[in-house]
Amino acid sequence: MRKNFDIDAYLDEAEARYSGFYGDYDSFDDDSNFDDYYFEDDSYFEDDNFDGFDYFEDDYSFAGAKPKAPTPYQVTVENTTSGTLTAVLFGKNEYLLSTNYGSATGIIVTPAQTNVSYLFLLQQSSDQPFETSLIRIQSSNTTQITQILTVTVLDANGQSATLPIITQSYFSSYQQQSGILDVPYSLKIDGNTSVSFPVLATTTVIITFFPAEKVDTARALNGKGAKAVYGNPQVNLGGMTFPSRAMASAPRKAPARRMAQPKRRVLPARPVRRK
């Protein structure tokens, strides 16, 4: 499986080059946390301070149960005109007050759930960011499903980055259905992130985003971690695999300083008396 480009890491790198600072403020509780553990000492990953279960931050991690199946976000995007138009999904911080929420006039975006409006989805994607494990594209127009998805991240400090997802490269030769394309891609959706793509004339396309993780700070009111983790959707990827979730991406916590063990004194050997 190809390694997905981390657009957020790219922006962090750009920020670091601008400011001259590299690292994470959370790691700098004191000098020893930075010097002794994060770079020079492998023991941080060997003791109780780093436990693989901490990454999942949910009850099932400790109970040994499998993570629950993801409930996807699905939208129908329709081009009602006789020409190709650009549709924009998400990106609340930039498009909330824009005409048609950033999409060209003639594009209609409708969530699959009848009790949810696109405005609702747009705002929740900002308040409760999520990361995908799979993006499914469906259309009766087979040319539509391989249109490039352009991911744009724009920060309020003026930095921006653009990443094209070449959907054609995910088309499997083992795939039996021509009007559907599964893209196993790890994509973070938040208020600064938008996804744009061309919609062909008089074409309707359905896009489904399966979350791998979702942040909901209200979970803390129930004594749970703010991040909910989901299992992979039960779909056949035709030989491809889902993006791996690196354990190193879990939030790091500063380990407690270890107490230095006193050195043992070695007494000199007693002389043997000869009779």
Q: How far apart are CA 268 and CA 67, in angstroms?
A: 60
64: left (phi over 0), alpha (psi -120 to 50) or beta: left
Q: E strands within 123-201?
A: 130-139, 149-154, 160-165, 180-183, 188-189, 193-199
* pTM (2 d.p.): 0.69
Q: Residue 9 pLDDT > 90, yes or no?
A: no
Distance in angstroms (rounded) separating the CA atoms of residues 86 and 196 = 7
Residue identified by tokens 């942040």 is 215
d(CA 175, CA 201): 26
What would the DSSP string read from start to end of 193-204?
EEEEEEE-TT-E
* pLDDT, tens only, 232-246: 887 877 777 888 765
**Mean pLDDT to the nearest integer, 45-51:** 42
Does residue 271 register a pLDDT over 70? no
Tokens coding 257: 């300083």
Pairing state between β 180-183 and 160-165: unpaired
Provide CB contacts within 8 A for 220, sequence distance 6+.
Answer: 226
Q: How far apart are CA 181 and CA 188, in angstroms?
A: 20
pLDDT in tens, 151-169: 999 999 999 999 999 999 9
Distance of CA 210 to the CA centre of its chain: 11
- Report DSSP state, residue 126: H
Listed by start position, the domains of the chain span 7-63, 73-245
Q: What is the DSSP string of 4-50?
A: PP-HHHHHHHHHHHHHS--S-GGG-SSHHIIIIIIIS-GGGGTSTT-
- Flag the least confident range among 58-67, 97-106, 182-191, 240-249: 58-67
Better pLDDT: 36 or 103:
103
- In this predicted structure, the answer to whether residue 188 has a pLDDT above a threshold of 60 is yes
